[in-house]
Amino acid sequence: MHETALMQNLLNTVYKAVENRNVVRVNRVILSVGQLSNALPDALSFAFRAMTQQGIMKDAQLVIKQTPATARCESCGGEFPVEGFPIVCPSCGSSSFSIMSGDEVYIESIDCEED
């Protein structure tokens, strides 16, 4: 539901990254979206399209990579991907865990054309 706010941050971040370069066009933005981020890829794509109607990002493509959450087992110390609930360590069966990643909405890189 807050995908538009995230997209505004994305645009600000992209414009900041290109500010001292002579970028004429941004072709692609590559975004990692964690499984626990509560950010919907469809809503992100929609907001991106709506907010890139002009300027150097016009017609840019948003590539969304969905990344799984990971947890660390507090009994055996192993790290494992979260594959649903309940979260149980696949090595030792413990249900004592800490979430290590999965709530990020992370810009990896942009592809652009420079003059």
Partner 1 sequence: MGRIDIKQDLKALNNQIAAENREKFAANGVYVINVMGSPGSGKTTFLENVLPHLSSKLKTAVIEGDLATQNDAKRIEKTGVTAIQINTGGGCHLDAQMIEKQLEKLALESLDLLVIENVGNLVCPASFDLGEDMRMVILSIAEGDDKPLKYPVAFLNADVAVITKIDLAPYIDADVAAMRRNIGEINPKVAVFEAGMKNGVYSADEVTAYILGQAEKKQQQR
- Chain contacts with partner 1 (rule: CB under 8 A): 1-2, 5-6, 9-10, 13-14, 17-18, 21, 27, 36-39, 85-86, 95-96, 99, 103-114
Query: Which residue, 59 or 103, has its beta carbon nearer to partner 1?
Result: 103
To partner 1, the closest distance from the beta carbon of 42 in angstroms equals 15
Query: Which residue, 22 or 54, has its beta carbon nearer to partner 1?
Result: 22
d(CA 106, CA 29): 11
Q: Which positions ≥6 away from 90 have C-beta within 8 Å?
A: 78, 80
**Closest residue by Cα to residue 103 from 68, 76, 75:** 68
- Is the CB of residue 57 less than 8 Å from the CB of residue 11? yes
To partner 1, the closest distance from the beta carbon of 54 in angstroms equals 21
Q: How far is CA 45 from CA 4, 6, 51, 65, 72, in A?
A: 10, 11, 10, 12, 31
Query: Which residue, 45 or 96, has its beta carbon nearer to partner 1?
Result: 96
To partner 1, the closest distance from the beta carbon of 66 in angstroms equals 15
To partner 1, the closest distance from the beta carbon of 70 in angstroms equals 13
